[in-house]
Structure 1
Amino acid sequence: MSSLRDAETFPAHTPAASQIFTTVLCHGPITRLEVARRAGLSPAAVTKAVRPLIEAGYLVEEAEEQTRPALGRPANPVRVDGSRALFVGVKVTGDEIIAVLTNLCCRIRAARHAPLPGREAEDVLARVADLVAELRTEAEKSGTPVLGLGVAVSGDVDRAAGVVRWSPFLEWRDIPLAGLLQKATGLPVTVDNDVRALTVAEQWFGAGVGLSDFAVVTVGAGIGCGLVVHGRVVAGAHGVAGEIGHVTVDPAGPPCHCGNRGCVEAIAGDAAILRRIRDTTGAEVAGVPEAVALAHAGDPVARDTYARAGEAIGRGIATVANLLGPERVIISGEGLAAYDLFAEQIRDAFAAAAFGSAARCDVKTRPLPFEEWARGAAATAIQSFIRADDQPPSR
């Protein structure tokens, strides 16, 4: 196992070089002139930054084109060599750990799933370390080094400090997860909120590519929101931003675990939906699949509960649109399994609450399995590896 001291570092570790590399990663193959246009840099700066990245094998040049632009700069496009390095991404849910091995272009090469052994930090750390070891063994077959580990956890996560401040589903407080996993694996570790990690992946490779302002809203066990404003994922001054799950939409509504009442999550989260159905009907509804089946069978309480959830989510999305005016809101998360039960209410509540031109925001659904969330964690590890200021550029 290599030590952190011996770990490979990204060449030309400057904000400009990182911005250029990320532009090629998201949009390549791409010519240097197009990189300059998208990154807002001079062609000379791009040419200077690209050279060491090609020499180090991180970028490769495609076959030369017939024409060259003025000033004699090469018009042949460059792209990221995905085989140059590997990364591991881990998503920790309330009952499962999902780990993926990706290449430098964040394409999944292998995946592992394991049940959560328990919610004590020590148990989770040990299982994550085991999964990372399995994937590094897989990586050894290609002879390509694993250069970083990204971990995505729900809740209040301070990425800069590598600390999980509070994760309600895991019942963790102030766990220095990055440092503990660095000791256990010998890899540089990035720990981030799971929705922010998914947002990075959507910004680089998904429905947010090319957008300067968009949001990712996730529905399921919790209601989360990742924000991209002027091309940057917003973390907030204290590592908390986009918490629409704890926006109050009904002051007289049910209590939320955050201490307030009528939060979006207290109405639309999985636990809230199950609680209302059980309390109102007295039925022993074991879990979400049973609740969805009950609603599909026409049970009025179940259908009304999902309708209320959709209204709360729609009002939450309208709050994001009114405050930030994003070009697009992407709805994802395991809760989309019931989307047909509340899609109309989301649309109607959003249209009613969105102010003026904010209603022009493109609201689209994008079901993503948890492996994609783990891929998002790997994207944060790649981001940390290539970014001097640990923030993603975008154009």
Structure 2
Amino acid sequence: MDHKIAARTSLIRSASDAGSKVFATILTRSPISRIDIARHTGLSQAAVTKAVSPLVAAGLVDAPPAAHRDGNRGRPVAPVSIIPEALIMLGVKVNVDEVIAVATDLGTAVLASEQRALAVHDPQVVLEAIVDVVSALESRLGDRSAAIAGLGVSVSGDVDTETGVVRESAIMGWIDEDFGGRLQERLGRPVTLENDVHALTIGEHWFGVGLGTASFAIVTIGRGIGSGLHLNGQVVTGAYGVSGEIGHLPLADPERICACGRRGCVEAVASTGAIEAAVSAAHGRDVIIDEAVRLAHQGDPAAEAAFREAAAVIGTAIATLVNLAGPELVIIGGEGVTNFDLFEQTLRNSFNAHAFGAAARCPIVTRPHTFQDWARGAAAAAIQSLVR
């Protein structure tokens, strides 16, 4: 990181609360006038101008001369814009069998991407794979790599973002793993470790659907069942960092054992692995998810039953989430979206049966997310960490 980039990151990190609000507003709503910044932040226009000036001087924000005036007040309207290339963030999504990495600008536009297969889940192997993709991204960026300001890494499970510790990840088989600290020490760069669905939610909150929605929830269907909540302008993390873990609500048959070791979790019947296990047991041989999907589409009773059971439990979990938190929209993402026709009707029926009163009016929509989108979410989490 050269001295100019270091100065920019130092300015952002040391900003006052007002300065952070102003920068975040410009970052997510660019271009925007100073008047609108004041409206969004609740600050005076004088305070906004004071906060914008050092951002312009540092090369983070562009503020051209006023071109016209506000017709009501006669004040100059000079929209300010983020300079996306002022800083670069790296984002890494850790999957059970691969790591996907992207380099993004401050608006999370992807500048370069890399991925590496994972044969095992050993933390040291995963760490080395991340070091490898980071090095590859630096090479692809060339001289622009000097603008890299940090790295965001997202992992499934109970992640303590403050300490960088993965407290529990059933998919990876990790317990109390100080992954963020070790990775930061190895790379010599700031590292933000975040739960994967929370990171995806941060990306949607700052750069996606969250900009036009007062509150929303993301529910992901795939190898795990996760969720993230955006309420009152903030992504909810909770006091212990595990808010929104609907995959481990005890809504399934207690006889079903989850990969986390507990009984009756939603994931015990609704995850990709649970569906594969149910169809495999019925057919007396190993059946992977692609074949299970094909069998269900062909009317195979065991495959249809597995997806129907999964959909019913997920629908109940979403109803529980909506009853408790009251988001105005639920977005379903994850690998399972590509096969949502096998879930949809049963899921909606289950949701409607358990949603209380007006909560049943909450729309449920699908939004496909590629694994590159998940990596962009990790980069967004790193940007948010820098700003805050």
The 2-side partners of 1:316 and 1:266 are apart by: 13
The 2-side partners of 1:105 and 1:374 are apart by: 14
Report what 1:155 is aligned to: 157
Report what 1:188 is aligned to: 190
Contact 1:331 1:364 in 2 (8 A): yes
Q: TM-score scaled by structure 2?
A: 0.94
Report what 1:307 is aligned to: 308
Partner-residue secondary structure (3-state), 1:10: helix
CA drift at 1:251: 4.2
Report what 2:31 is aligned to: 29
Contact 1:116 1:124 in 2 (8 A): yes
Q: How does 1:280-291 map to 2 (within 5 A)?
A: 280-285=282-287, 287-291=288-292
Residues 25 and 224 of structure 1, relative CA distance in 2, 3 Å threshold: same
CA drift at 1:69: 6.0
The 2-side partners of 1:39 and 1:338 are apart by: 41
Q: Deviations over 1:320-358 (max 9, x none)?
A: 100010011111001112111111111111111111111
CA drift at 1:72: 6.3
Contact 1:139 1:146 in 2 (8 A): no
Which of 162, 177, 180 aligns to 1:175? It is 177
State whether structure 2 residue 379 is matched by structure 1 residue 378: yes
Q: How does 1:156-305 map to 2 (within 5 A)?
A: 156-285=158-287, 287-305=288-306
Stretches of structure 2 lacking an aligned partner (at least 5 in a row): none
The 1-side partners of 2:303 and 2:65 are apart by: 59
Contact 1:32 1:74 in 2 (8 A): no
Report what 2:140 is aligned to: 138
Report what 1:49 is aligned to: 51
Partner-residue secondary structure (3-state), 1:45: helix
Report what 1:392 is aligned to: none
The 1-side partners of 2:75 and 2:116 are apart by: 51
Report what 1:330 is aligned to: 331
CA drift at 1:382: 0.8
* Cα RMSD after superposing both structures: 2.0
Contact 2:2 2:146 in 1 (8 A): no
The 2-side partners of 1:173 and 1:143 are apart by: 33
Paired amino acid for 1:79: S
Paired amino acid for 1:289: D
CA drift at 1:221: 0.3
CA drift at 1:386: 1.3
Q: Deviations over 1:286-308 (max 9, x none)?
A: x1111111111111110121111
* Most deviating of 313-322 and 62-71: 62-71
Contact 1:207 1:330 in 2 (8 A): no
Paired amino acid for 2:56: I
Report what 2:341 is aligned to: 340
Identity, in percent, stands at: 46
The 2-side partners of 1:253 and 1:368 are apart by: 32
Paired amino acid for 2:128: A
Paired amino acid for 1:193: N
The 2-side partners of 1:56 and 1:361 are apart by: 44
| Number of equivalences | 385
State whether structure 2 residue 121 is matched by structure 1 residue 119: yes
The 2-side partners of 1:72 and 1:181 are apart by: 53
CA drift at 1:261: 2.8
Partner-residue secondary structure (3-state), 2:136: helix
Contact 2:154 2:195 in 1 (8 A): yes
Contact 2:163 2:181 in 1 (8 A): no
Contact 1:253 1:263 in 2 (8 A): no
Q: TM-score scaled by structure 1?
A: 0.92
Partner-residue secondary structure (3-state), 2:40: helix
Greater relative contact order (Cα < 8 A, sep 6+)? 1
CA drift at 1:252: 4.2
Stretches of structure 1 lacking an aligned partner (at least 5 in a row): 388-395
Partner-residue secondary structure (3-state), 1:209: helix
Report what 2:321 is aligned to: 320
The 1-side partners of 2:149 and 2:202 are apart by: 18
* Most deviating of 250-259 and 110-119: 250-259
